[in-house]
Structure 1
Amino acid sequence: MTKVLLAAHVLAVIVAIGPVAVAASMFPPAIRRAADSDDAADRSVAVVLHRICRVYAWIAVAVPVLGVGTASSMGVLGSPWLIASMVLTIAAAAVLGLLVLPAQSGFLTAAQAPPGEALAVAARVSGRLAMHTGIFNLLWAIVTVLMIVRPGSSTGA
């Protein structure tokens, strides 16, 4: 059962977190292009990227659920590396849910303004949004390293 849970956990990470990380990283340049253009297609790209982030964020709830199940079956729930990973996962979820997604929504609302006003909003928001997205991705990179290295593990890696 442990191998099935572990496989499901890893697949959930790949399928759910990967698209959010990529789409969120693509959003700041997309909003700059959309704000600088009258083309509806440029705005549509930003809308789709935001939808990917929002939908896959909900799917990503499976990642910690399956992770806790896997850790429980392996008997490592109290391990410091796992506790650190859980804290970082909560932090990444908070960054996504409280900073990245609202900023994306805010821009999409502002993008309805005339191009000059939208460009001003994009210039103000995109740098901060890119930073928050980078923090989100960095947190997940640290969690990934912790999951692979597992300090104190018996794998010898």
Structure 2
Amino acid sequence: MTKFLLAVHVIAAIVAVGPVTVAASMFPPAARRAFGAPGDAGALATTRLLHRICRVYAVVGVAVPVFGFATASNMGVLGDTWLIVSIVLTALAAGVLALLVLPRQSAVLETAEGDGVVEEVPGERATSARAATVRLAMVTGIFNLLWATVTVLMIIRPGSTTGA
């Protein structure tokens, strides 16, 4: 059963987290192209598609920690430090995606055909479209770095008995 759960966990990570990290990374430059060519419906459509991919796969990505917990429970490693660190980093990545990346993508999209001023997050001052996409790229990089760190921890598993 452990091998099955681990396989589903890894497949879910590849299928769900992979598209989010790629689409989120592609969004800021696509948004800059959309702002640079206001009449280009294709550029705006690409940006909308990337945002939709991020939203849909973020929801699908919930399967990753669900099967991760099931696998860890079967393996008896729920108390291991590397797993606890991975859980915390996964929660941080999910928070960055849900609270920073997706809302900023939505704000950029809402403004793409407007006046070029983006109200990024309620309570923040309005910024230019360029500044908003630069900040979004930075936040997306943090999200991707968190996932890369979790991936490395899952492969190395400090203290594991597999010799990896």
Map of 1:7-156 to 2, 5 A cutoff?
A: 7-37=7-37, 38-114=39-115, 117=116, 121-156=128-163
SS class of match (2:128): helix
Q: TM-score, normalised by structure 2?
A: 0.92
CA distance in 1, matches of 2:117, 2:113: 7
> Could you list the per-position Cα deviations for residues 20-47 of structure 1 after superposition, in whole angstroms to 9, with x for gaps in the alignment?
0000000000000000102111000000
Distance 2:129 2:7 in 1: 40
Q: Is the 8 A contact 1:31 1:46 kept in 2?
A: yes
Count matched residues.
155
Q: Which ranges in structure 1 are unaligned for 5 or more consecutive residues?
A: none
Give the % identical residues: 64
Residues in 2 aligned to 1:20 and 1:78: alpha-carbon distance in whole angstroms = 29
- Whole-Å separation in 1 of the counterparts to 2:87 and 2:56: 22
2:122 corresponds to? none
How far has the Cα of 1:118 moved from its partner?
5.9
Provide structure 2 residue ranges, at least 5 long, that are not aligned to the other structure: 119-126
Conservation of the 8 A alpha-carbon contact between 1:33 and 1:42: yes
- In the alignment, the residues of structure 2 paired with residue 147 and residue 58 of structure 1 have an alpha-carbon distance, to the nearest angstrom, of 21
Q: Which amino acid aligns with 1:42?
A: A
- Tell me, in whole angstroms, the C-alpha distance in 1 between the residues paired with 2:101 and 2:107: 10
* Over 2 Å off, 4+ runs: 117-122
The AA in structure 2 aligned to 1:20 is V
Q: CA RMSD in A?
A: 1.2
TM-score normalised by structure 1 residue count = 0.96
- Mapped contact 1:110–1:121 kept (Cα < 8 A): no
